[in-house]
Amino acid sequence: MTDAVTWNFSDRHIGPDAQGMRRILDVVGVDTLDELAAKALPAGILDKRDGDVADGLEVLDAPLSEHEVLAGLKELASRNTVATSMIGQGYYDTLTPPVLLRNIIENPAWYTAYTPYQPEISQGRLEALLNFQTMVADLTGMEVANSSMLDEATAAAEAMTLLRRANRKSKSPRFVVDSDLFIQTAAVLATRAEPLGIELVTANLVDDGLPEGDFFGVILQVPGASGRVFDVAPVIDAAHERGALVAVGADLLALTLMTPPGEKGADACFGTTQRFGVPMGFGGPHAGYLAVNGAHTRNLPGRLVGVSVDADGAPAYRLALQTREQHIRREKATSNICTAQVLLAVLAAMYASYHGAEGLTGIARRVAAHASGLAGSLRSGGVEIVHAELFDTVLARVPGRAAVVVAAAIERSVNLYLVDADHVSISCDEATTHTHVVSVLAAFGIAAEESAGDEPVSIPEELARSSEFLQHEAFTKYRTETAMMRYLRRLSDKDLALDRTMIPLGSCTMKLNAAAEMEAITWPEFAGLHPFAPADQTGGIRELVSDLERWLAAVTGYDAITLQPNAGSQGEYAGLLAIRHYHLSRGDDHRDTCLIPSSAHGTNAASAVMAGMRVEVVACRPNGDVDLDDLRAKIADHAERLAAIMITYPSTHGVYEHEIEDICGAVHDAGGQVYIDGANLNALVGLARPGKFGGDVSHLNLHKTFCIPHGGGGPGVGPIGVRSHLTPFLPGHPAAPELGGVGPVSAAPYGSASILPITWAYIKLMGARGLRQASLTAIASANYIARRLDEYFPVLYTGANGMVAHECILDLRQLTKDTGVTVDDVAKRLADYGFHAPTMSFPVAGTLMVEPTESEDLSEIDEFIAAMIAIRGEIDRVGAGEWTVDDNPLRGAPHTAECLVGEWTHPYSREIAVYPLGKGRAKVWPSVRRIDGAHGDRNLVCSCPPLEAYSS
């Protein structure tokens, strides 16, 4: 008989079992995890603890089982009321095809993938993103679209700064904003403009034309926030005549019926793809979009997928023009966007594939017919309709009665948008039915018999779309569920996600995203909420938000948390804005210098510039730590102007710098604020709290430490924690007065709220003990890898006692010098061994950074180590001259099944190529050979290529 075992969730989340952990600790040379913590972390920052509960974490409840947590979430969900939403304003109900829900959103093959930096093992999601780009470009009539933005409002803000860069002829700081933008778009524009010295001039462009004076650009939206449909061409032409460039926000569903802005001469086009199958989710996540005409391609922020060729000449996809991106350009970056909204972009693109041009047009016609029918009935019932020409949104004028009408609609379970005391706005969407329309009429006091029924769409003939769109096979071939299911499977089979292998990407924390954590995100009680729904309908999600704020404050040691930023980069930006406003509030307007160590992530410098700061780089010592002498010198040089330091802890070099308290102290003494980048919090939770060891503000990446899956490059959530003096400067929102604070950084008050249940569940499941155990295990496993691989690939940086934190950097530079084998070769070769590569050349060129996380068990870690050791053996054979540097299994990697069947001329065997360690580990076949990135950049193609391209 065996003893009965009761498993806790933390036993399921944490990979190594007791025996495995014993072996790990033996190799690391410590007896216990606590001894490891004492050796690795500086004593001064290590939290005290009571048993296994660290200081601060006593506020967390005892851990619950998965079923108990799900019951807790159900209870919270039951406190939300999902009314029919006709609020609109950028968020619409949509019918997610079940085949997409199950095979994308609920499928770890899609949601556990990382950003496709290793394109050879990411062809599936790259193809899906290329479809997204094609969809956006086709519908907007623009030449190039990127592969998603964080939301519509930030896409608008990026469009504004793009126009400023692109308009070399205008020196004007003025930017004209149409008065009919969504309130959140206008508010995010205002937040972004101020630190950059952009002066916003608001004008009613359609009625009054362009204002006097110079300006570099103009932004408008069609349909307008008021629902008005109009011709954008006169505004665009007039602006061009005055030397200004124009960005147009456009609703993609409306563009199936209307001439797209690209055909009217727009320079940029932005918006959201939310209503393409992505639930409203109390505000997000959804994929925003940004598209430009070809002249501005190199100015586009964010990720851009392009077509290239692999080593065998076959078409292959990869991220194009990467030198534009913030991680390369740092303080010269023009945008800080890094994590985007890949999973939601994939969903929106597949929604377009499934419906095709005809299906989307059919949906649009239905929506428009409901809206014009509603407008007609209201008119016949004596209600004044403000705009006769409309797509989905009806603006009704009811002097003095608006609140009464909205309340009457709520009684009928329908939410309308209260514009002001005299106006109500009603948006129809894919889910609108005749019954809803009848309820709305009743709220206005109009009987159903008076309903005019559906009417022809109210889009004027001269604005009707005549051009074709979505004619590529990607949008015509997958109309049956069988075809779509197989397409999605075929694509995801090309990718290495966490469901097949460990993904040891340093600085990315690819840990388990447990099924129980994921479950609630698609429940209608969370997914079906409009971000502006009345507070008394959203009690459950609001309580979840406040639980999380409390728990994250405890974990980080800060006084307040905001969950609004929808990526780590946006958290950085929000945190730096808080610092900026704090200094300004004290009259310290000269404090504009941000110190950033040379090892920092590229987003740090980019965010600082966006927050109106000058970046001063602080050197690192040969051991990787911040050079305190250089820091002191820089502080002295910039004393008067010092605004802040941004420092990552543990550092991007994967070590706990022992002088962190001195660093924070030196900056504080000089009147600066300390921003601690918390992207590496996986090595701190339950051990040390940045808010207690010197930080004034930190962002956390919930999509790293707190189990939100990476989704192939988003969604993410980047909350910030602040000490109390910065609380007044947290982001607010025009539709959420309860937030207070300054301007918003994201479109929705609570950012990507619908994925917060993931983090809520993780913390509930782990409890204080489990969270601490997770951090310690992550550190132990990283140190185990460092010890085991050091003799093959020297570990570049270690801290006190030779310890690393939760990741380690393997230095290949000498090997490259000696043999010609590069980090690229090793990264690609790992795919032949069935592994995803570690992070390549960040933060140090020529190195690999490995982060195992706590979720990998010892056997998976050992298999990875075995693969790395075998690769070292291969490098030695190149070094020994047995294989040439140009023809060896590393340079030839990755190897596809197809490459085996032709003539084989290599000096190594087919077996070595594809089964280098024999047949032990399940083979994952890369779908393409090494991709030629430069070729793709020279011959830029960023939408689906014609089919003939694939036949060659």
Ligand X SMILES: Cc1ncc(COP(=O)(O)O)c(C=O)c1O
- Smallest separation, CB 605 to ligand X (Å): 11
**Phi, psi of 409, deg, nearest 5:** -70, -40
Sequence-separated (6 or more) residues with CB below 8 Å from residue 95: 277, 430, 431
Q: Which is nearer to ligand X, 320 or 679 (by Cβ)?
A: 679
- Smallest separation, CB 322 to ligand X (Å): 14
Distance in angstroms (rounded) separating the CA atoms of residues 700 and 685: 11
- Smallest separation, CB 651 to ligand X (Å): 9
* Stretch of 256-264, 548-556, 561-569, 806-814 lying at the interface with ligand X (CB under 6 A): 561-569
Instruction: Pick one of 220, 679, 761, 803: the residue that binds ligand X (CB under 6 A).
Output: 679
790 close to 29: Cβ distance less than 8 angstroms? no
DSSP string, 54-87: ETTGGGSPPP--HHHHHHHHHHHHHTB--PEE--
Q: Can residue 853 be called a binding residue for ligand X (CB under 6 A)?
A: no
- Smallest separation, CB 713 to ligand X (Å): 9
Distance in angstroms (rounded) separating the CA atoms of residues 812 and 878: 14
690: tokens are 């940045």
- Smallest separation, CB 110 to ligand X (Å): 18
Instruction: Pick one of 339, 353, 451, 855: the residue that binds ligand X (CB under 6 A).
Output: 339
Distance in angstroms (rounded) separating the CA atoms of residues 127 and 474: 10
- Smallest separation, CB 150 to ligand X (Å): 9
Closest of 351, 346, 348 to residue 713, by C-alpha: 346
Strand order in the sheet with 847-850: 808-811, 847-850, 839-840
- Pattern of binders to ligand X over 38-67, x per CB under 6 A? ------------------------------
Q: Which is nearer to ligand X, 439 or 701 (by Cβ)?
A: 701
Q: Can residue 284 be called a binding residue for ligand X (CB under 6 A)?
A: no
- Smallest separation, CB 508 to ligand X (Å): 6
823 close to 847: Cβ distance less than 8 angstroms? yes
- Pattern of binders to ligand X over 516-555, x per CB under 6 A? ----------------------------------------
Distance in angstroms (rounded) separating the CA atoms of residues 112 and 119: 16
Q: Which is nearer to ligand X, 567 or 635 (by Cβ)?
A: 567
The conformational region for residue 713 under phi > 0 = left, psi -120 to 50 = alpha, else beta, is: left
* Stretch of 451-459, 566-574, 624-632, 942-950 lying at the interface with ligand X (CB under 6 A): 566-574
**Phi, psi of 219, deg, nearest 5:** -130, 135
Neighbours of 212 (CB within 10 A): 7
The conformational region for residue 740 under phi > 0 = left, psi -120 to 50 = alpha, else beta, is: left
Q: Which is nearer to ligand X, 370 or 689 (by Cβ)?
A: 689
- Smallest separation, CB 930 to ligand X (Å): 25
| CA 457 to each of CA 369, 439, 464: distance values in angstroms, whole numbers, following the listed order | 5, 21, 10
Q: Which is nearer to ligand X, 648 or 759 (by Cβ)?
A: 648
Instruction: Pick one of 701, 759, 775, 819: the residue that binds ligand X (CB under 6 A).
Output: 701
Q: Which is nearer to ligand X, 718 or 744 (by Cβ)?
A: 718
Q: Can residue 569 be called a binding residue for ligand X (CB under 6 A)?
A: yes
Q: Can residue 564 be called a binding residue for ligand X (CB under 6 A)?
A: no
| 725-742 per-residue burial string, b: 16 or more CB within 10 A, e: under 16 | ebbbbbbbbbbbeebebb
Q: Which is nearer to ligand X, 310 or 657 (by Cβ)?
A: 657
- Pattern of binders to ligand X over 642-671, x per CB under 6 A? ------x---x-------------------
- Smallest separation, CB 786 to ligand X (Å): 19
Which residue number has the CB closest to ligand X?
Answer: 568
61 close to 508: Cβ distance less than 8 angstroms? no
Distance in angstroms (rounded) separating the CA atoms of residues 497 and 512: 11
- Smallest separation, CB 230 to ligand X (Å): 36
* Stretch of 222-230, 398-406, 533-541, 563-571 lying at the interface with ligand X (CB under 6 A): 563-571
- Smallest separation, CB 660 to ligand X (Å): 15
533 close to 415: Cβ distance less than 8 angstroms? yes
Q: Which is nearer to ligand X, 372 or 853 (by Cβ)?
A: 853
Q: Can residue 716 be called a binding residue for ligand X (CB under 6 A)?
A: yes
- Smallest separation, CB 570 to ligand X (Å): 7
DSSP H or E stretch at residue 604: helix 602-610
| CA 11 to each of CA 14, 456, 773: distance values in angstroms, whole numbers, following the listed order | 5, 60, 10
- Smallest separation, CB 8 to ligand X (Å): 30
- Smallest separation, CB 603 to ligand X (Å): 4
DSSP summary character for residue 852: -
- Pattern of binders to ligand X over 471-510, x per CB under 6 A? ------------------------------------x---
Q: Which is nearer to ligand X, 387 or 710 (by Cβ)?
A: 710
* Stretch of 420-428, 565-573, 639-647, 689-697 lying at the interface with ligand X (CB under 6 A): 565-573
Q: Name the E strands within 609-706.
A: 614-618, 642-648, 673-678, 697-700
Q: Can residue 690 be called a binding residue for ligand X (CB under 6 A)?
A: no
Q: Which is nearer to ligand X, 567 or 664 (by Cβ)?
A: 567
- Smallest separation, CB 604 to ligand X (Å): 6
Q: Which is nearer to ligand X, 192 or 264 (by Cβ)?
A: 192
Pairing assessment for the beta strands 560-562 and 423-427 based on DSSP bridges: unpaired
Q: Using the structure block, give the residue that is written with the tokens 């693969």.
A: 867
Instruction: Pick one of 130, 338, 615, 913: the residue that binds ligand X (CB under 6 A).
Output: 338
* Stretch of 8-16, 238-246, 351-359, 564-572 lying at the interface with ligand X (CB under 6 A): 564-572
Sequence-separated (6 or more) residues with CB below 8 Å from residue 709: 108, 111, 112, 343, 498, 513, 518, 703, 758
| CA 315 to each of CA 284, 701, 932: distance values in angstroms, whole numbers, following the listed order | 34, 35, 10
Q: Which is nearer to ligand X, 414 or 679 (by Cβ)?
A: 679
List the alpha helices (DSSP H) in 519-559: 524-527, 539-556
Q: Which is nearer to ligand X, 432 or 701 (by Cβ)?
A: 701
127: tokens are 């193809």
**Phi, psi of 561, deg, nearest 5:** -130, 140
Number of residues that bind ligand X (CB under 6 A): 15
Distance in angstroms (rounded) separating the CA atoms of residues 154 and 148: 11
* Stretch of 353-361, 567-575, 584-592, 608-616 lying at the interface with ligand X (CB under 6 A): 567-575
- Pattern of binders to ligand X over 575-614, x per CB under 6 A? --------------------------x-x-----------
- Smallest separation, CB 717 to ligand X (Å): 8
Contacts 24+ apart (CB under 8 A), 864-870: 864/502, 864/504, 864/785, 864/835, 865/785, 865/788, 865/789, 866/917, 867/830, 867/833, 867/834, 867/835, 867/916, 867/917, 868/789, 868/792, 868/793, 868/810, 868/830, 869/789, 869/792, 870/833, 870/916, 870/917
* Surface-to-core class of residue 659, CB atoms within 10 Å of its CB (0-12 exposed, 13-18 middle, 19+ buried): middle
Instruction: Pick one of 16, 88, 285, 718: the residue that binds ligand X (CB under 6 A).
Output: 718
- Smallest separation, CB 117 to ligand X (Å): 11
Measured CA angle at 66 (ends 63, 72), to 5 deg: 80
Q: Can residue 568 be called a binding residue for ligand X (CB under 6 A)?
A: yes
- Smallest separation, CB 336 to ligand X (Å): 7
- Pattern of binders to ligand X over 208-227, x per CB under 6 A? --------------------
Contact residues for ligand X (CB under 6 A)? 338-339, 507, 567-569, 601, 603, 648, 652, 677, 679, 701, 716, 718
